[in-house]
Structure 1
Amino acid sequence: MAQYAETQGKAVPDVKHYKYGMNLDIAKVVSVTPSSSACGVVPARMTYEDSQGELHTIEYRVQGFGCPHGG
């Protein structure tokens, strides 16, 4: 992500923590962290450009897909 910001001549954005109901102005998704192989809820990040061309990184929680399945 830092390399993308540098090649675009933009500042590396600070990470903001997502809160339910936040108004996100997403014009272009730049990167999303890959889904986790961990079991349980884990942090993930998305970096995007807004309609003004500024970069933002938001951190949110996702369910990891590495939990063993009972059977």
Structure 2
Amino acid sequence: MPECVRCGTALEARSSGIADRLGLTSYEGYECRDCGTLLCGGCYRKRTIELAGGSHDRCPTCDGLLLSR
């Protein structure tokens, strides 16, 4: 099970209609499209507050773009 790089929490699977029926599991959180770093929703929100006015949507590892999973 994938884990958040910042706090180590296991990211929970979420069901998403047809993808779930096809066996394609989607996980909660945010993923860097460049290096694959994962952040849970809570850590992503904390970064938003900590980096107010900064680029909270950038990966803490490689500065790539964090996208919702």
Larger helix share, 1 or 2: 2
TM-score over 0.5 (shorter chain): no
TM bracket (short chain): under 0.3
Which has the larger share of strand? Answer: 1
TM-score (norm 1): 0.25
TM-score, scaled to structure 2: 0.26
